[in-house]
Amino acid sequence: MANLIFEMHAPGRKGYTLPKNDVPTPIATCIPQNYSRTAPLRLPEVSELDVMRHFIELSQLNHFIEKGFYPLGSCTMKYNPKINETLVRNPGWNNIHPLQPQDTVQGALEAMYDLQRDLAEIAGFAVATLQPVAGAQGEFTGLKVIAAYHKHNGDTHKTKILLPDSAHGTNPASAFMSGFEIVELPSNDKGMVDLEALKAAIDENVAGFMLTNPNTLGIFESQIEEISRLVHSVGGLMYMDGANFNALMGLVKPGEIGFDVMHYNLHKSFATPHGGGGPGSGAVGVREDLVKFLPYPMVTKEGSQYVLCNNDQETSIGKVHAFYGNFGVNLRAYIYIKMQGADGIMRVSRNAIINANYIMRKLEKYYHVPFNDNCMHEFVASGEWQKEKYGIKTLDIAKRILDKGYHAPTIYFPLIVHEAMMIEPTETESKETLDAFIQAMIDIAKECEETPELVKNAPQNTPIRRVDDTLAVRQLNLHYTW
Ligand SMILES: Cc1ncc(COP(=O)(O)O)c(C=O)c1O
């Protein structure tokens, strides 16, 4: 455990920095007197080297992708290329303001214009808005577009959104927040939408069907054409949760297989940092006749000029975020797409699929894999065998994985698999890394058999042992005094 910097305090120890700027800065002069500090801040006196060691050590107590493998299914923790970071920090991008005259930010507008079109092209839609700042907000936006479309057509009776029981938790939440009634459909024994249940639920009140594809079991919903035919036959629209698009890019265009609206999680598919509900980007693509319902502004092109266009305020659902979304995040995705090119984008999906299948096949002897047809970019294993035979829970296995130097997979999700462990390696990992992880998982399976107490009491060698997951929420204490 890192030494607490406050406890290393010894009078007279210091680090060196440049002398204080004696030119009054606008910030300093505009702080009202009553908010200005009157006594110096009580900081520990420590040497520069101790400060460096303290912060370097602290930075490594947590797990992060640059430190080790991070197979957190559904959350897609793939490597974010550092060249993106370098490029977005260019002052030309970094120091501009959304209220600046548009002829002074033509480059930024061009990048956004291209990205709106590139995303649409990759997924087979007319255009995409970049305004939503998280996948969940993309869902909300897309569903509001569906609601606006039905209202525009006078179909106010269309109040129901159908979704399968494998849906990501944000799907029913977004549908509810958008004012819809939710109808949950069961999955069949292959982990896909149960068509008979869909047929029974379909009627004139269906506004849309919301489907994650590949679904949260990592399975491609191959009945999509039939589902889409049924939903469209009653005037409903097909919404794709495209958070898992990193398995389809360059291989399948959702807009060409029956979907009308889709959100992308740029932080999952296009290697921008994961937003954790924002600040990310949950761009939304739509078919041509739905464009007028998208949030404004969009970037359009008039002659050779790029402009922010507010034209469709009459039909638009309005704004879902200030200005034009998270520009810096969108820019990273733009750079990533341009660097990959069409072939690279396809290779991303292929490698994500190969990596997940490789791990699944190597582990299926040791852990139950309830839906074990070929998977897409992730798969769901279960700790059920270990629970039945040795009383070891998936939570224990996840904690033991930390001891081996990895982040744990997503656990207990999706809800339709008991003792679920959702593993997503991503395309960015080498075979050596995958093999080492597979070996660690096999070792843990053996430990469950031979030394179960070791697993039940894991983690043994992390900075903090097993914690009470809810205590910090109930008794939050962020205050440290010395
Ligand atoms: C399938 C699926 N849908 C929606 C989301 C929500 O995305 P966000 O966390 O950006 O709100 C996620 C998150 O990873 C997801 O995996």
**Residues 392/393/394/397 CA torsion (nearest 10 deg):** -40
Residue 407 burial class via C-beta count within 10 angstroms: exposed 0-12, middle 13-18, buried 19 and up: buried
Looking at the DSSP bridge assignments, the partners of residue 476 are none
Among the candidates 339, 371, 390, a domain finishes at 339
| Residue 318 and residue 209 in one domain | yes
> Is 259 domain-assigned?
yes
Query: Does residue 26 have a pLDDT over 70?
Result: no
> Is 67 domain-assigned?
no
| Residue 118 and residue 200 in one domain | yes
Helix (H) / strand (E) containing 420: strand 420-423
* Residue 147 contacts residue 178 (beta carbons within 8 Å): yes
What is the chain's mean pLDDT, rounded?
Answer: 93
For every residue of 94-132, DSSP letters joined together read: HT--TTS-GGG-HHHHHHHHHHHHHHHHHHT-SEEE---
| Residue 108 and residue 220 in one domain | yes
pLDDT in tens, 56-74: 998 888 899 999 999 999 9
> Is 262 domain-assigned?
yes
The pLDDT, as a whole number, for residue 473 is: 85
Ligand 1 binding site (Cβ under 6 Å of any ligand atom): 74-75, 134-136, 168, 170, 212, 216, 241, 243-244, 265, 268, 275, 277, 280, 282
| Residue 53 and residue 121 in one domain | no
pLDDT band at 28 (very low <50, low <70, confident <90, very high): low
Check which CATH number belongs to the domain holding 270 and give it.
3.40.640.10
> Is 470 domain-assigned?
no
Q: What is the mean pLDDT of residues 368-378?
A: 96
How many angstroms separate the alpha carbon of residue 143 from the centre of ligand 1? 15
Among the candidates 294, 314, 339, a domain finishes at 339
| Residue 147 and residue 227 in one domain | yes
Residue 375 burial class via C-beta count within 10 angstroms: exposed 0-12, middle 13-18, buried 19 and up: buried
Q: How many CB atoms lie within 10 A of CB 424?
A: 30
> Is 329 domain-assigned?
yes
3 state SS of 248 = coil
The pLDDT, as a whole number, for residue 277 is: 54
The pLDDT, as a whole number, for residue 477 is: 84
Q: What is the mean pLDDT of residues 33-47?
A: 87
Tell which one of 219, 220, 265, 266 to mutate to probe ligand 1, the residue whose CB is within 8 A of the most ligand atoms: 265
| Residue 119 and residue 25 in one domain | no
The pLDDT, as a whole number, for residue 387 is: 98
| Residue 210 and residue 151 in one domain | yes
What share of the chain has pLDDT > 90, as a percent? 82
Distance CA 345, CA 336 (A): 9
Query: Does residue 479 have a pLDDT over 90?
Result: no
| Residue 18 and residue 167 in one domain | no
| Residue 335 and residue 262 in one domain | yes
> Is 401 domain-assigned?
no
The pLDDT, as a whole number, for residue 27 is: 63
Distance CA 193, CA 144 (A): 24
> Is 352 domain-assigned?
no
How is residue 144 written in tokens?
């509001």
How many angstroms separate the alpha carbon of residue 303 from the centre of ligand 1? 38
Query: Does residue 1 have a pLDDT over 90?
Result: no
pLDDT band at 33 (very low <50, low <70, confident <90, very high): confident
Q: What is the mean pLDDT of residues 174-185?
A: 98
> Is 429 domain-assigned?
no
> Residue 48 belongs to what domain range?
5-58
pLDDT in tens, 285-309: 999 999 999 999 999 999 999 999 8
Q: What is the mean pLDDT of residues 89-115?
A: 95
| Residue 158 and residue 246 in one domain | yes
CA-to-CA dists, residue 18 to 15, 21, 22, 157, angstroms = 10, 8, 12, 68
Tally of domains within the chain? 2
End-to-end CA distance of the chain: 18
| Residue 151 and residue 192 in one domain | yes
| Residue 164 and residue 46 in one domain | no
Buried b (16+ CB within 10 A) or exposed e, 132-154: bbbbbbbbbbbbbbbbbbbeeee
Tell which one of 70, 72, 74 to mutate to probe ligand 1, the residue whose CB is within 8 A of the most ligand atoms: 74
